[in-house]
Structures are given as C-alpha cells and as structure tokens.
Structure 1
Amino acid sequence: MNNPENNIKTQTYSYEEAVAGATAYFKNDELAANVWVNKYALKDSAGNIYESSPDQMHRRLASEIARVESKYSNSYSFDDIYEVLKDFKYIVPQGGPMTGIGNNYQIASLSNCFVIGNKGVADSYGGVMKIDEEQVQLMKRRGGVGHDLSHIRPKGSPVMNSALTSTGIVPFMERYSNSTREVAQDGRRGALMLSVSIKHPDAEGFIDAKMDGTKVTGANVSVKIDDDFMKAVKNNTPYEQQYPIDSKDPVFKKDTDAKKLWDKIIHNAWKSAEPGILFWDTVINESIPDCYADLGFKTVSTNPCGEIPLCPYDSCRLLAINLFSYVQNPFTPEAKFDMPLFKRHTEMAQRIMDDIVDLEIEKIDAIIKKITDDPEVLEVKSTELNLWKKIKQKCIEGRRTGVGITAEGDMLAALNLRYGTDEALNFSAKVHKNLALSAYRSSVEMAKDRGAFPIYDSIREEKNPMINRLKDADPALYADMVKYGRRNIALLTIAPTGTTSIMTQTTSGIEPVFMVSYKRRKKVNPNDKNSRVDFVDEVGDAWEEYNVFHHNFKTWLEINGYDLAEVAAMSQEELNPIIEKSPYYKATANDVDWVNKVKMQGAIQKWVDHSISVTVNVPNDCTEEMVSKIYLTGWESGCKGITVYRDGSRSGVLVSNDEKKKEEESISFTETQAPKRPKSLDAEIVKFNNNAEKWIAIVGLYEGRPYEIFTGRAEDSFSILSHVEKGWVIRNRTDDGRARYDFQYEDKDGYKTTIEGLSRTFNQEYWNYAKLISGVLRHGMPIAFVVDMVSNLHLSEESLNTWKNGVVRALKKYVADGTKVSGQTCPGCNEEEGLVFKEGCITCESCGYSKCG
C-alpha cells in the first residue's frame, strides 16, 4: 500500500484512466464508476487523481483505520479491516470518511453532518451573520449543515435598530439558502437543513417559503411538530404559538387554527414534497444525548437528510452495513440470513466507527493548525477558528457515531420476502434489533479497553426509552454498561445512502427498490442495418430503446435461468410476466402500501437511537387526505420524521416503463413535453455588451414567446446582423445529419439573406450555456423565472458573468408587464413586494424606482 502520509503515493491517473479502471472494477457499471471517480477517488486540491480503482481506496482506508486500531488492545489488523471493506461487500464508510481518510493532499473534515447555532445569540444581526459564516466554513470542508430558526423573533416584532421591526424568519431562510448555493464542495453544492418549531408565530411563512419554486432553493426545510399540535389537529382545537417558543413568560402569544395550518403543511408536501415533518417530542424523548442537555447536548435540529438530530457544534460520521451480503443462497428456496456473521461484523463496524472518531480529531487538529497558520489577522479568522474548536470539544465529549445499513430492499427480496408485508416487517425489525444490541455491546466492550465517553452517567440515562429497550432485550449488556460505561454517546442511524448504494449496486437505505426496470434510449444511425429504430424525437434523431434493470433483479434473472440480453430486448408486454414471478413484484417504491411502509419505519426506529431518512412514495393521483393519513400514522407509529413524495410533484426522477401511454403523453429520459419545434421560428435580435465587446442575442420565438437563444460577437460572422432587427431561425441539417440552425432575414431591397450555422459562430462554452437556457425556455418555465435563474448563475469567469447579464437583458423584454420580481427588495424604498417588470425594466410600484438593462 502506498501511503500518502509519507508522500510515497505519487502516481497520478488521467480522468479517463481512472474511469476505465473503475469501470472494469464495477464490471462495466459506468454509473458506479463515474460516481466513484468523481466523488471518492483520492485527489489533491488541483484535481490530480491518485487512484484508479476502489480497491486502492479500500487499502487506503484499511491502512489508516488499522493505524488507529494499533493504539488499543485487542486491535484489528490491516487484513481484518480490508476483508470487510473490499468490494463494498460488508462495511462501507460513507461520504466524508471514504473521501478523506488517508488523504493528506486536502484538509477536510471526515464528518458528514453538522448542526450549528447558539441559543440567544443568533437573534441579532451579528448572530445571523455569525451562523451564516459558520455554515459556509463547514460546507467548504464538505459538511452538510443543519440549523434551527426558532430563535429568530417573528415578523413585526420591535427591534433596536433603524428597521424598527423584525423581518421575521423567511428573509433569513433565503440568506442561508443563497450561501449554500455559493459554496462548491468538490463539484457539488452544499447541503442545508433549515427547521422551525410549529410553535413559532412565523411557522406558516416558513411552511410557504418554497412554494413558488424560486426561493430557498438551496435548503431542505422541515417543521418541528410537537405532540400538543398533533392532538389539536386530531381534536380540531386551537393551538397556541408563542415567542420565545420555550419561554414560560413569552413576549408574544397567539392562538392559531391547528387544523388549517396542518392542511397547509399537507397541501405543500403533496404539491412539492416539502416541508418534511420532524415529530420533535418523539425526537427529544427518545434521544440519549438529551440526557446530557444541560452539558451542551440539547438537540436543536438535524442534518440535511434528517437522519442525525444533533446539538449545536456536534457532528457525525456515517457508515453503512450492506445487508444483501448476509443472505446465503439468495433468491432460492434455501435462502437464509447469516445472523452470526452479521452480528460479528456489526461489532466490528462500531469499532471502526470509533476509530474514525480518532481520525476525525486528527483532521480537526489539521484544520485548526491551518487556520492558525493562515496569514489573515485573528479578527478575520476567529469565527472559523472558534467553530472548529467547539466541534472538536463535542467530538471528544460524545464520540458520536452513525452506524447504519443499506440494501434493506434487496435483503428482503433475496430472502423471498415481499417488501411491505407483515412478514418482511417483522424480519427487518429483528435484524435491526440485533444490530442495535451488537453495536451497543461493542461500545461497552470498547469502554472497558479505551474508556467511556467522558461525560457518561448511567443515572442520567436510566429513564431513557431506548436504553430501557436494550435493558429489557439484554439485561447482561445493560449491567455491563452501568459498570463500565459506553464508548459513544449515540451510535446508530439510517441514512439515504444514495451514492453508497450505487457503488454497492443495491437498494438504498431501508427503501424498497425504486424501479425494477426502466427504459433508456441510445441514439442510432437509422441507415445502419444492425440498428433498431424505436423512437424518432422532435428534431428527427433516431433512438433505440432498451430495458435497464435494477442490479439485483439481474441477479434474480440469472439464478432463475433467464438470458439477460434476451430479456433486455423484450417489449414491456413480454417483460411484465417475468417481473411478476420475482420477489420485486409489487415491492417498488410506488407499489408498497404506505401504511406498512410507515409502520416498518416506526418498528425499525425503536432500535435506532438517532433517526431514519426515509421517503414514502405515493402515486400521482394520491389525495391530500391520504398524505395527511401518512403523516398521522407516522406520528402514531413512533417515527421521528417523515417525508412524502408524490410521483410527479418534483422533476428529475426516473420514469417507469410500465404500459405505455400515447407517445405525446409519455415521458422518459429523451422524451419531452416541449412544443415540437417548427422548421422556422420568428426571431428578434437584441444587442448587448459583453465586457468591452459588442454582442448579439438572437431570440427564437414560438407563438410570441422565447423558445431558444443564440449569442455571438458582433465582430464575428454575426457582424452583418448588427443592422438587422428581425428574421427567422430555420432548422436545417448538415451533410452528416446533424442539426444546424440558420438565420434568415429580408433586406431593404426584399432579398433574403441566410447566415448558416449559428451554433458554430461563437465559443463552445457560451453555446453550451445557451443550450441549457434554451432547454428551460422550451419546456415552458415562466420567463420571469428564467430571468431569475440566469441572473443567479454563479459563473467562474468575469466574461461569462457579463455575457449572462446580456442574456438577462435579452429575455427581460419578453416578461409580461406587471409580473412580480421574486426575491428582491426595492433599493429605493425597501418594499419587499413592490418590484414588477415593465417594458423589460424593473420598476417599483411604490416609489417609482426603475432599472433597465
């Protein structure tokens, strides 16, 4: 094993070499290969890649974990650790640990999840800015962040500054959301959870904040709901909101219609899958760390996906156990779950997680040293420095871990159990009970050898429901815990495991398979005698359709004697009877009965001391009443949080290939709901400056509305258009069959002149951005939203930003007069809702302020 710690590992790989190596490792699974290379292969800050196979990564992880193990008695060897990590088969460190362990080229935390925020501090502007800075500082080191807004005073409250009254919660939601969007984390945007108590007087504004689709786009939002509110909903009685929310003598109180507010939550969740719900009394009452609330471990919010409730400045690292790998003889009548091996590996996983806490403390020390050594004055870097010192303190005091699972859906299918049945629910609960007991046994054994977490106190925990379930299930374990303590304050969670499950090639977390199969298309040459044309798109390109299967459904097919190539080429009518024979039939995300899904979550939650990230998928025709029942059942079943996704309420989800509807009604990866482009479009020319250069935008119009946009320098082949105002964009084809967009106009003498190939007349990067904007225009996004989207593009080069401003100017003229401008206040009078579009300019209806271009 070459060790980056000793600067031995110097061989680098090109991106193509790394992808090729990873593709071979994943047996031609290109998605898994690309995910691994882009997110987890060892890299330095310049983007140089030092690994071309996950096997190298697993050796890197095993080497570092074994180094920590060697400090303690009864330690695992490198070979012990490597054997459970390799091939993603048994134990899979997630996210930060996979990326950062053994990486001395980059200074980053190993923690996946953070929560920030001090009670009583962030209600001032100074406090708001401090939280904003802390959020950014954590995100730049790859952390997902959560914080609660319940401490901010409600809208209209008096404040001691020139504003006179508070703006309330919603503007600060947008502030924190925008900060998230600005932070790049190795090519991905940061992740943020914003929460608020239903008791807060601004809760309704919080619930509505994301509904227009243009605000708070950089955050997940969840409402913390208490038992009193749920009882008020069930009994249709008033509910009292107040500020401060926990005060016995609040400065503000009001009664609200609980049922009406509940219906708003339900409607918004039905329509847009947000807000999520956190059943906060359940979270707090079940929380073991809250036994130490007076010592700084009071839970205030969760990480972005909701599976780790945390106190301020605590963090957690995640690891998943691959449940599918413990099924012997999968998909056969002899299938059985290897419980002894699972329990042994769970104990080992908990040890590895504790080792990762040590590695995280080393990483935090390196971060603190870097900040200390940075040349900035202390005044500039003090917030970041103090932030990491607080995180280190919590890490040492609690040694929190996040052992979880993935592949629950595949495990059940491999055991010939149908997800959602009572039999499957009972078996899953048994697995998670054994996981909890084994992990806690491991933590107690470590306390004997390594010492308990510093603030452990058995008296504080003796009434905790989770501790008492462990006591009832294993009295000897509890007796040892009281005697020796426990190494970790809290141990277990179940995360979404999105990219993890791609690399394990299994279902995600405790979720069922999302789809057994779906259709993909590949572009083909219709003149090739070996190709099959199943679909011709709106621009005339030919495509061949083929079936793509969930990885372990392919395993089932092979075990049951099917030829994969033959099945992949089948029509849906031929494929359906085969799927019906499999244990995945009626066990997909949209098929599983929601009642059993929620009950399963509640049953498993009893053996998970943190929380579970889970989404209840319902079909598009699901009613709001049904969503309400799902949430109520979640509360009654002991769930800590729940999110509902109604099929089609958000874009970007894989599309089923169940029985086809008419072609114009069916959507898949390459289909479109955009109006089909006629060969010729009316077009207008808008002139703008890109830095000191003269540029031109050609806007193609469909029924008077922008449909596509082309841009280029007026000095290039567009120069002739400097004196043209209108014309037509005509879609033709080149000799090799590719699309070409020509511009035609009529001169003053009545002659028609054509400029060929607009797409070839300017820099490729501008063309790519213009294609993206055109795609949004074609699919009907309101022009005002397109203007807002383009305005908020964060581009790396200044020339691109000035070009962006020109595109905005070109599109603004097509926004209907009187359309409200979202997310901005008037610079003239500070009115929040006074700005409207008028003749391509932004005008304030309150004070007359106007800005054009």
Structure 2
Amino acid sequence: MHIDRQLGLTENAMKVLERRYLIKDDEGKVVESPKDLFTRVARHIAKAEYKYGLDDADVKRTEERYYNAIANREFMPNSPTLMNAGRPLGQLSACFVLPVGDSMEEIFETIKHAALIHKSGGGTGFAFSRLRPRNSVVASTSGVASGPVSFMKVFNSATEAVKQGGTRRGANMGILRVDHPDIMEFISCKDDLSQVTNFNISVALTDEFMNAVEENREYDLIDPRTGKLYELDGKPQKLDARKVFDEIVKHAWLTGEPGVIFIDSMNRKNPTNKCEKIEATNPCGEQPLPPYDSCNLASINLGSVVYEPLPGDYSPDEPEKGINWEKLLDLVKMGVNFLDNVIDMNKYPIPEIEQQTLSNRRIGLGVMGWADMLVKLQIPYNSEKAFELGEKVMEFINSKGHIHSSEMAKTRGKFPKWKDSIYADEGVSMRNATITTIAPTGTISIIAGCSSGIEPYFAISYNRNVMDNTNLIEVNPLFEKIAKERGFYSTELMEKIAASNSLKEFDEIPEDVKRVFVTAADVTPEEHIRTQAAFQKHCDSSVSKTINLPNEATEDDVRTAYWQAFKTGCKGVTIYRDGSRQNQVLSTGKTPGEKKAAEQGDAEPLPPQKVMPKERPTTLDGFTDKIVTGYGNLYITINKFGNKPFEVFAQIGKSGFSTMADTEAISRLISLALRSGVDVDDIIDQLVGIGGASPIYQEGEMVMSIPDAIAKILKKHFGNGHHKIDRDVNLEACPDCGGRIQHESGCLVCPSCGFSRC
C-alpha cells in the first residue's frame, strides 16, 4: 500500500484529497498539500476562540490541538468543513432541512433556498407532507393540485441543474408521512430508477400506523390542510395498515427504497420538542431537524484509541481494558469544542438557516473505525461482546460530550432555545441542543485510513483499477499485517479473497483470524439492527447505517428488519439487497399493445427492425468549438443537417496515440448514432458525467473526461439532457473507475477511488 510518508496517508487518501478537497488553481492543478489543508481547517476554526476572550497564544494552542487530531487521523470533520474552512465560500455545514409549504410561493421559495444550499456544498431534506393530495381543488385557480410526488420531481430537476462546484453533487431526502393520502404513489415513485435520481426517499411511520400493522387493522388518512380525517365524497378514507407496510417492504426489497423513519420517536427524543417539530432528516437520515435547521458533523476514529500493543493482561472477555479511555475523552472534549466553533465560523446560505442554527447550536459528534477497533480488540463484529461494547463506547462519548457542552455553557452561554428545551426542565445548562450523530463517513474514513462509520468491512481485499488499466490488489492493512506475521500471506491468496465477499471458505486462513475479520456478507439482518440499536441507545440524533442483505434475501427478511428496528428503538432504517438495483428493469421499450399481448401470451414479440444510417450529403454546414480537458485542448467539430447535429469530429492536442484513438472512436460512434436517428439528448445522457483520470475545473464546472467534454459541447449547442439516467444509483459499478460500489450508512461509496454520493 503506497503512503504519503509525511502524514502516513494512503494512496487512496491522497487520491480523494486531490479529487475533492485540496485547493486547485484556475487550470485545475492542485496547489495545496494535505498538511496545508489540515492547517487551513484547524487555523480557521480555532479563530472562533477569540470571540470568547482567548489570546493569541491560547488560540495557537487550540489550532495545534485541532491540527494534530486531524493530521494523526484521530478525528475528521465533515466534508464541507474540510473543503470550505478558510476559503471564500465558508459554508461548513453538511446537512439542512427546509420546509415545503402548501402554496406555489412557498414551494418555489424553498426550491430557491435549496439551490443556494446545493451551490454551497450542502445536502437538503424535505418533508412533502404539508402538500395537499393530488387532484385536490385549488380555490385560487379553480384547478386541481399536482400532489407531493409531482412537486418532488420539480425539486429533483432543480437539483440536477445546480452543480456543486465539482466537489459535491446535490443530494436530497424526500419524506412523506404514512398517513398522507398520496402515500401509495410516493412508495412506488422510484420504481423507475431513472426518475427522482437526486433523492433518497423515506416514509415517516407513526406509532399509530405501527400499532395498526401489529393489530392488523385500518388506519386513518389525514388531510394535511386541516389535520383532520381525510374525506372523499363525504366518506372518511382509511387504508389497510398491513397492506401499506407490505408495499413499503416490497419496494425496498426491489430497489432499496423507500427507507423508513419513525417520526414519533424522533420527536419524542428531540430536546426542543416543546417549541418545534421535526418533519424530515438530512439526505442520509442520521440528522433529524426542524425546518431551517442545520448541523455540522465530525467523527472520532475509534481504531485510534485502542492500545497498541494491547496490555499484557488483556483478554477479549474484557475488551474495555484495551481502550485508551483518557485519549477518547480528550477527543470528545476537543470534538465538542471544535464543532461549537464551526457554528460561529460558518457562513450560512440563507438568513433563516443562520437564525435557526444559532438558536439551537446543534452539533453531531460521531464515530468511524468501529470495525477496526473490534479487530484490534480481537472481537467479532457480530458477537454479543461487540453489541455490549458498542453501547458502552457510545454511552461514554454521549455522556462526556454532554458534560463538556454543559461546562462550555458556563463560559459561552446556553443555546438561545434552552428555556424551551428538556434541559431547562432538568436544570442542566447546555451549550448545544444535541451533541451526537453517527453519520456516513465515506470519504473522510478513506482519508483517515479507517473503516466506515459503524459498518462492518465490506471486503478484506479488493481490486483497484489504476490509470494504465491494470489491477492492483488492495488489502485491509490490519489483515495484511496479521497474515504476514503468521506466515499465510501470499499474492495468490489475496487475489482469491478479492473475488469473494467473505473469508469463511478459505482453509488457508486460521479459524481465529476468520472469526475476527467479519465482512458485511457474514452479518445477518438481525445483527446489523442490533449494532445500530446499540449505538442509537446513546445517540442524540440518529444513526446512519445500511442493513446489507444478500441477493437471495426475501421480503420477509426486509419486513423483519423494519419491525426489529422499530422495536429496538432505532429512529430509522435503510436496507439494501445486494444486486437489486443492478437487475432493476428501467424500461421494456414495448408499445402498450405489445405489452398487453405479451402479458396475455397470445402474440409473438415483433422482430427488431434494422436501423439504416442516413447517407452523408456532399456538403454540410458546421462549426468548431474548443474545450479544455485534463488531457489537453479538445477541438470538437459538429456538422449539421438542417438544424440538427449530423456528425461529430474531435481532435485532442498534445496527447498520446491511445487518447487520440479513443477520441476518434467516440466521435465515430456518436456520428453513427446521430445518422441513425438517435436523439441528441440520449447521447448526451450516455456521455455526461463519465469520469476519467484527469478531471479539470473549466468555466465554472468540472470536465470529467473527453466523453464528458463532448457531451457538454453537444448540450451547449443542441441538447437539454432531460433523459438523464443516474449511473450512481442504477449500477453496481463506480461511474468513475469501474470498481464495485459499496452501499453503507445510507450512502454509495467506491473504496477503489473514493467516489461517494455523500
């Protein structure tokens, strides 16, 4: 494994930093080192200490404390803080929730606010539950309402149009209450995965609904305009609870969506529930928030607080003895201080968010490296000891974090809404309304060189594609160390492991090693839920975790997981059945008549019709455009037939023969498609966003590759790209490097190159 010797960063960490975090000049060249990045972040956040009376020496010591924790990969703030601290944009929060009111003015005001948030690098959550149902009468226009799902698609289109500076793409969470009259349409709205591609969706399940499921009865639908029983033609509307629950289960089994959140539990455990109501969460579900609130997040690397070597009297029967609790306490205190300072140093995208954030001062200190900690302590991920230790570790972090926030309140003041919080009832001063959140750590865990969040290892060894199209075997460093120490390491074995999801079948590996190096494929749904529940028990906000299921899992397995999550106190749950999206049928391409005939079995499908490309006229009018790519200047000539593009020629300057040949091949195939009547928007959609080894920032957006550059020129002159299919969602392969995508913590992550949806 290649590392940066100065800071011990792996090659993958360096790749992620260069791709997303390090400052680049106008030509897209990296002009900042990792050390510079960590210094920039530490220095900027430490400046908040001046507000509370500290002098230069104290601020410098705070900066050094922050820097050491980040550079040693013991602590890592969320991506927006790493990207934007000490830079002009200055937006440091990861997650926001915006209200969606039931009027055109309110809806499009929220769309505007969401665009500003996405532009600044944040993700947004929306509850569409206030919107009147489809076909309701709109008195002001004498028309009928479009309904929540229709407007969610408008939000999705707006997100598609807003690029996040080439560093983070727009991400949304769409939530609808289970008692909304349009709930059935919402549950199935992502069956076609080419639709609503910028949204995760979750159903807000109420206690009343879950009780109705358990009791096998109907439940009431509620009119969002009145808060009373929904009626049609004077008749109260009810649904069969078990049938609705089964529909949620079926669709989650098919595509991984919708997820579910337990909205009443979220509100009961909200410290400010006397003065505000939670309706939605951020995109990955770990941060329930009231309207206009935000939260900044950071994670402690649990693997970094295990004694190395372990004490001489250590035994896995008493794993607590292997943990440096004093070091963990120092990281908790520093983390709470750091995140409170982020609130003061933040530049907020809109005034409403600034006001609400400063009123509650919510922070979200979480963890990563849980699987690493367990391996170092010689404890299997899916063991009773692991569940018990997870609860104990999170209780320590949460309680010590609360104590430190309370201490800070004595010198910095209580959060403004404290008087309307549970803390006022308890007589406890608090600086922050919430302290802990367990968030996805996709890219920051790659930077830290640790396992992601509280997830198990996805694999112990995997293939990583490099620039010359050869494969390197990337091996878990803890496993590699043990394998070499105990003499069973070989390149051949690592290659065999890379082709498998589990170590169970490898006789070459000692049993005690296989027992400890547990992968997601070894963990049952019940064990996933027990892990989530153990951490949720002492977490103020929520826990982002994916319940990974094997491809052969049944709908009953999904149903059991949802029910177990509810019964064990989880605030939400996301499942993903291996390969389910890869096999999803997007479109049959049949006409309605053909579909009907096929369903009835009384007709043979029509044979495919051969497409003949149009002959090229002797003379065509056209133009040449230039775009800068990471491979050099790309000159694209587009000739037209009438007003439509007919053929494309592209020439790349100062590049190798392979690149020139690839460019010519792409141009020929595009020309063939255009001459064969393929819509230019479909061509754009196939090419746009394809990643390459040398992305570059050009004229306000990232040019990812030569195909992406051609798509941008086609779109600039001819297309809309409105048929876009989101490769990140539909495929199991990374859109940038072709590596296998991992579904973890409600997010998509590629361990090969660091690509992430979070």
TM-score normalised by the chain length of structure 1: 0.67
Residue equivalent to 1:492 = 436
Pick one of 201, 206, 209 that aligns with 2:189: 209
Alignment of 1:253-652 (within 5 A): 253-293=236-276, 298-329=277-308, 334=314, 336-360=322-346, 363-364=347-348, 388-457=350-419, 460-461=422-423, 482=427, 485-520=429-464, 547-560=473-486, 567-568=493-494, 577-578=508-509, 580-582=511-513, 587-651=518-582
SS of 2:144's equivalent? coil
Residue equivalent to 1:109 = 91
Deviation at 1:330, TM superposition (A): 6.0
In the alignment, structure 1 residue 165 sits paired with structure 2 residue 144: yes
SS of 1:267's equivalent? helix
Of 390-399 and 60-69, more deviation after overlay is shown by 60-69
- Over 3 Å counting, the alpha-carbon distance change for 1:246 and 1:98 in structure 2 is farther
- Partner amino acid, structure 2, of 1:355: N
SS of 2:52's equivalent? coil
Distance across 2 between alignment mates of 1:767 and 1:787: 13
Residue equivalent to 1:32 = 13
- Partner amino acid, structure 1, of 2:480: K
Residue pair 1:299, 1:312 contacting (<8 A) in 2 also:
yes
Pick one of 228, 241, 246 that aligns with 2:221: 241
- Over 3 Å counting, the alpha-carbon distance change for 1:603 and 1:424 in structure 2 is same
Residue equivalent to 1:143 = 122
Distance across 2 between alignment mates of 1:45 and 1:314: 34
Distance across 2 between alignment mates of 1:563 and 1:291: 59
- Over 3 Å counting, the alpha-carbon distance change for 1:46 and 1:112 in structure 2 is farther
In the alignment, structure 1 residue 64 sits paired with structure 2 residue 44: yes
Unmatched runs of 5 consecutive residues or more in structure 2: 315-320, 585-609, 625-635, 648-655, 690-700, 702-707, 724-758
Residue equivalent to 1:801 = 715
Distance across 1 between alignment mates of 2:393 and 2:89: 37
Residue pair 2:125, 2:281 contacting (<8 A) in 1 also:
yes
Deviation at 1:357, TM superposition (A): 1.0
Deviation at 1:232, TM superposition (A): 1.4
SS of 1:650's equivalent? coil
Distance across 1 between alignment mates of 2:470 and 2:684: 37
Larger radius of gyration: 1
Distance across 2 between alignment mates of 1:163 and 1:784: 39
- Over 3 Å counting, the alpha-carbon distance change for 1:544 and 1:110 in structure 2 is closer
Deviation at 1:254, TM superposition (A): 0.9
Residue pair 2:375, 2:517 contacting (<8 A) in 1 also:
no
Residue pair 2:132, 2:148 contacting (<8 A) in 1 also:
yes
Deviation at 1:35, TM superposition (A): 1.0
Residue pair 1:790, 1:804 contacting (<8 A) in 2 also:
no
SS of 1:503's equivalent? helix
Residue equivalent to 2:705 = none
Could you report, residue by residue, the CA deviation over 1:488-530 in whole angstroms, capped at 9, with x for unpaired residues? 0111100110001111111111111111123456799xxxxxx
Distance across 2 between alignment mates of 1:564 and 1:713: 53
Residue pair 1:687, 1:694 contacting (<8 A) in 2 also:
no
Identity %: 30
- Partner amino acid, structure 1, of 2:91: S
Residue pair 2:259, 2:574 contacting (<8 A) in 1 also:
yes
Could you report, residue by residue, the CA deviation over 1:336-369 in whole angstroms, capped at 9, with x for unpaired residues? 1111211222012101111111111xx23xx6xx
- Partner amino acid, structure 2, of 1:209: C
Distance across 1 between alignment mates of 2:36 and 2:687: 43
- Partner amino acid, structure 2, of 1:685: P
Residue pair 2:362, 2:432 contacting (<8 A) in 1 also:
yes
Deviation at 1:788, TM superposition (A): 9.6
- Partner amino acid, structure 2, of 1:800: L
SS of 2:173's equivalent? strand
Deviation at 1:687, TM superposition (A): 6.9
CA RMSD of aligned residues (A): 4.1
Distance across 2 between alignment mates of 1:652 and 1:507: 28
Distance across 2 between alignment mates of 1:739 and 1:67: 48
Residue pair 1:26, 1:32 contacting (<8 A) in 2 also:
no
Residue pair 1:321, 1:404 contacting (<8 A) in 2 also:
yes
Distance across 1 between alignment mates of 2:528 and 2:106: 41
Distance across 2 between alignment mates of 1:225 and 1:800: 45
Q: Highest relative contact order (Cα 8 Å, sep 6+), 1 or 2? A: 2
Deviation at 1:48, TM superposition (A): 5.9
Residue pair 1:554, 1:564 contacting (<8 A) in 2 also:
no
Pick one of 684, 688, 692 that aligns with 2:612: 684
Residue pair 2:322, 2:377 contacting (<8 A) in 1 also:
yes
SS of 1:281's equivalent? helix
Distance across 1 between alignment mates of 2:718 and 2:489: 51
Residue equivalent to 1:153 = 132
Residue equivalent to 2:600 = none
Residue equivalent to 1:93 = 77
- Partner amino acid, structure 2, of 1:39: R
- Partner amino acid, structure 1, of 2:557: M
- Over 3 Å counting, the alpha-carbon distance change for 1:584 and 1:143 in structure 2 is farther
Deviation at 1:183, TM superposition (A): 1.4
SS of 1:239's equivalent? strand
Residue pair 1:422, 1:596 contacting (<8 A) in 2 also:
no
Deviation at 1:569, TM superposition (A): 5.6
Alignment of 1:720-739 (within 5 A): none
Of 300-309 and 183-192, more deviation after overlay is shown by 183-192
Unmatched runs of 5 consecutive residues or more in structure 1: 1-19, 368-387, 464-477, 525-542, 654-681, 696-710, 723-735, 741-756, 810-853
Residue pair 1:201, 1:243 contacting (<8 A) in 2 also:
yes
Deviation at 1:791, TM superposition (A): 11
Alignment of 1:707-786 (within 5 A): 761=664, 766=667
